[in-house]
C-alpha cells in the first residue's frame, strides 16, 4: 500500500499532462511511467528564456506541458528563421545527437517543461522499444511537417503564407483541445508577434501586418487583440491559402 501511494504521488501529475493522452507518454504502462517520473523534473520558464542554444551542446530532453516554444536558426549576418513551433505534448531536445545543437529553443510564452537528463532518457530508451518506436513516429511526423513548410516557403506568396499559417495554428489548437468546433466562428490564440510570424514565413513584419489587414478587409478574420483573432470565414481562408482559383 505504501508503494501504491508513492506511485500515485509520482505519476499523479502525469494524468493531467497532454503528453500522457496524446504525446510520447501515451501508451506507457504504469510501471514505465513511474520509472520515468523518477528521472523527471519540472521546470518553469518565462517568455524569452532559452532552453537550448544553437552551436552549444545540450544535455536536456523535455516534454512541453504548457506554453509555446520556438525553434530558430540564425544566419551569420543575423537573419533568423523559425524552423519549428512546439506546444503542449511536443518534445524538445536532440536525442542521440553528437555535438552541438543546430537549433535555438526559446520560450515564446511562459512555459512549463517536464525535463529529463538526456543521457538517462537515452539509456532508458534502449530497453523500451515501444517508446523508441513512438519517437521514430514523431520524428517522421515532424519531418513531414517541415516539408509542408518547405512547400509554403518555396512556392506560396505572402497572402497564401499567412493564411496557411493561421489555418495550421487553428488546426493545431483544435486538435489540442480535441473540441469538434463548428466550421465557422472559431477564435485563435496567436502566441507569436508579427515579427515572429515573419520569421516563420520568411517575410518582413510589415508584409505580415499588411496581409493581416487584407484578410480582415476580406472578412476572413477579425482582430480582437494583436494576439487573439476571430476566424470568421474558414473557407475563405482555405481558398486564400491554396489559391485554388475554382
When asked if residue 224 is in the footprint of its own copies (CB under 8 A), the reply is: no
Pick out residues in 128-157 that bind DNA (CB under 7 A).
Answer: 157
Pick out residues in 2-61 that bind DNA (CB under 7 A).
Answer: none
CB 120 within 8 A of CB 128: no
In whole angstroms, what is the distance from residue 92 CA to residue 61 CA? 6
Which partner from the list DNA, its own copies, none does 12 bind, CB cut-off 5 to 8 Å by kind? none
Which partner from the list its own copies, DNA, none does 94 bind, CB cut-off 5 to 8 Å by kind? its own copies
Pick out residues in 217-236 that bind DNA (CB under 7 A).
Answer: 223, 225-227
- Segment contacting its own copies (CB under 8 A): 109-117, 153-161, 165-173, 226-234? 153-161
Q: Is the dihedral of CA 213, 218, 219, 220 positive or negative?
A: negative
When asked if residue 208 is in the footprint of DNA (CB under 7 A), the reply is: yes
- Of 37 and 197, the one with the shorter C-beta distance to its own copies is 197
Please give the order of strands across the beta sheet that includes 50-52: 50-52, 104-107, 69-74, 80-86
In whole angstroms, what is the distance from residue 27 CA to residue 112 CA? 22
Which partner from the list its own copies, DNA, none does 223 bind, CB cut-off 5 to 8 Å by kind? DNA
When asked if residue 204 is in the footprint of DNA (CB under 7 A), the reply is: yes
User: Among 216, 237, 227, which Cα is nearest to 192's?
Assistant: 227
| # chain residues binding its own copies, by CB under 8 A | 44
Binding site for DNA (CB under 7 A): 157-159, 193-195, 202-210, 212-213, 223, 225-227
Residues making contact with its own copies (CB under 8 A)? 71, 73, 75-77, 79-81, 83-84, 94-97, 102-103, 126, 129, 132-133, 135-137, 139-140, 142-144, 146-151, 153-156, 201-202, 242-245
Amino acid at each position: 500500500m505504501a508503494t501504491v501511494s508513492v506511485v500515485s504521488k509520482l505519476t499523479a501529475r502525469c494524468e493531467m499532462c497532454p503528453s500522457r493522452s496524446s504525446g510520447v507518454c501515451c501508451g506507457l504502462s504504469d510501471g514505465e511511467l513511474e520509472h520515468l517520473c523518477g528521472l523527471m523534473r519540472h521546470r518553469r520558464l518565462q517568455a524569452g528564456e532559452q532552453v537550448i542554444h544553437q552551436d552549444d551542446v545540450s544535455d536536456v530532453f523535455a516534454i512541453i506541458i504548457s506554453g509555446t516554444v520556438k525553434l530558430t536558426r540564425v544566419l551569420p549576418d543575423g537573419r533568423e528563421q523559425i524552423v519549428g513551433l512546439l506546444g503542449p505534448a511536443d518534445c524538445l531536445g536532440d536525442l542521440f545527437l553528437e555535438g552541438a545543437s543546430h537549433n535555438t529553443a526559446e520560450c515564446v510564452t511562459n512555459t512549463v517543461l517536464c525535463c529529463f537528463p538526456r543521457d538517462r532518457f537515452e539509456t532508458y530508451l534502449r530497453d523500451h522499444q515501444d517508446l523508441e518506436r513512438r519517437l521514430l513516429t514523431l520524428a517522421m511526423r515532424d519531418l513531414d511537417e517541415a516539408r509542408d513548410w518547405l512547400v509554403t516557403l518555396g512556392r506560396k506568396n505572402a497572402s497564401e503564407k499567412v493564411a496557411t499559417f493561421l489555418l495550421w495554428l487553428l488546426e493545431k489548437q483544435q486538435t489540442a483541445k480535441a473540441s469538434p468546433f463548428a466550421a465557422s466562428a472559431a477564435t485563435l490564440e496567436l502566441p507569436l508577434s508579427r515579427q515572429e510570424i515573419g520569421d516563420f514565413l520568411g517575410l518582413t513584419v510589415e508584409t505580415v501586418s499588411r496581409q493581416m489587414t487584407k484578410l480582415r478587409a476580406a472578412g476572413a478574420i477579425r482582430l480582437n487583440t494583436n494576439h487573439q483573432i476571430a476566424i470568421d470565414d474558414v473557407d475563405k481562408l482555405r481558398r486564400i491559402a491554396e489559391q485554388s482559383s475554382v
